């Protein structure tokens, strides 16, 4: 009987633990989604308190769309926007691409979180340092 009680107490303690949920999304998972699906997915996760890490990020157009959608969702005392950090895109042009005027944009790792949870400390071409805090 006493053993059972101890087990119950431990379970209760673990659910009360405060923490931060981090969702790591593979490039393959995102490649099957339409742009608006990706944006909705990110905003829903972030608004639920998750920090979202995208293996292959978003295209520049999708980033602009994400900022646009974020603006429509900002409400006083509830949601003040997002913090987003990504390595700058890489441009690749093949010989044939040069002739045709086609450049491939290679998107890179991106981190997104609510503005009151994620704060960029330092970043450059290949390094991102951020502070993640628990929501008050």
Partner 1 sequence: MGIIAKVKKNLPSWAKKIFKKKKARIGIYGPPNAGKTTLANRIIRDWSGDAMGPISEMPHETRRARKKEGVVINANGATITLDIVDTPGLATKIDFHDFMAYGLEEEEAKRRAKEATEGVIEAIKWLDDLDGILLIMDAAEDPFTQVNVTVIGNMEARELPLLIVANKIDLPEASPARIKSAFPQHTVIPMSALEGYNIDKLYESIANHFG
CA atoms of 120 and 14, how far apart (whole Å): 30
Position among 22, 24, 36, 100 found at the interface with partner 1 (CB under 8 A): 100
Interaction of residue 21 with partner 1, rule CB under 8 A: no
Stretch that binds partner 1, among 8-16, 23-31, 46-54, 60-68 (CB under 8 A): 60-68
Stretch that binds partner 1, among 3-11, 12-20, 42-50, 93-101 (CB under 8 A): 93-101
Position among 22, 33, 36, 64 found at the interface with partner 1 (CB under 8 A): 64
Q: How far is the CB of 99 from partner 1 (least distance, A)?
A: 7
Structure tokens at 42: 């990110």
Residue 118's contacts (CB-CB under 8 Å, 6 or more residues apart) are 51, 82, 83, 85, 111, 112, 130, 131, 132
Asked if residue 74 lies in contact with residue 116, where contact means CB atoms within 8 angstroms, the answer is no
Backbone phi and psi for residue 101, each to the nearest 5 degrees, phi listed first: 75, 30
**39, 68, 76, 88 from 71: Cα distances, Å:** 13, 5, 12, 22
Stretch that binds partner 1, among 5-13, 15-23, 44-52, 72-80 (CB under 8 A): 72-80
Q: How far is the CB of 68 from partner 1 (least distance, A)?
A: 5
Residues in contact with partner 1 by CB under 8 A are 59-61, 63-65, 67-68, 70-72, 74, 76, 80-86, 88-89, 91, 98-103, 105, 115, 123-125
């Amino acid at each position: 009987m006493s053993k059972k009680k101890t087990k119950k107490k431990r379970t209760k303690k673990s659910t009360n633990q405060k923490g931060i949920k981090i969702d790591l999304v593979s490039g393959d998972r995102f490649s099957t989604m339409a742009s608006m699906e990706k944006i909705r997915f990110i905003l829903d996760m972030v608004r639920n308190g998750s920090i979202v890490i995208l293996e292959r990020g978003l295209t520049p157009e999708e980033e602009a769309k994400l900022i646009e959608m974020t603006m429509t969702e900002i409400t006083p005392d509830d949601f003040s926007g997002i913090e987003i950090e990504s390595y700058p895109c890489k441009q690749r042009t093949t010989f044939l691409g040069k002739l045709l005027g086609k450049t491939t944009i290679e998107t890179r790792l991106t981190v997104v979180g609510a503005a009151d949870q994620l704060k960029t400390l330092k970043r450059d071409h290949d390094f991102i340092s951020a502070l993640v805090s628990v929501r008050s």
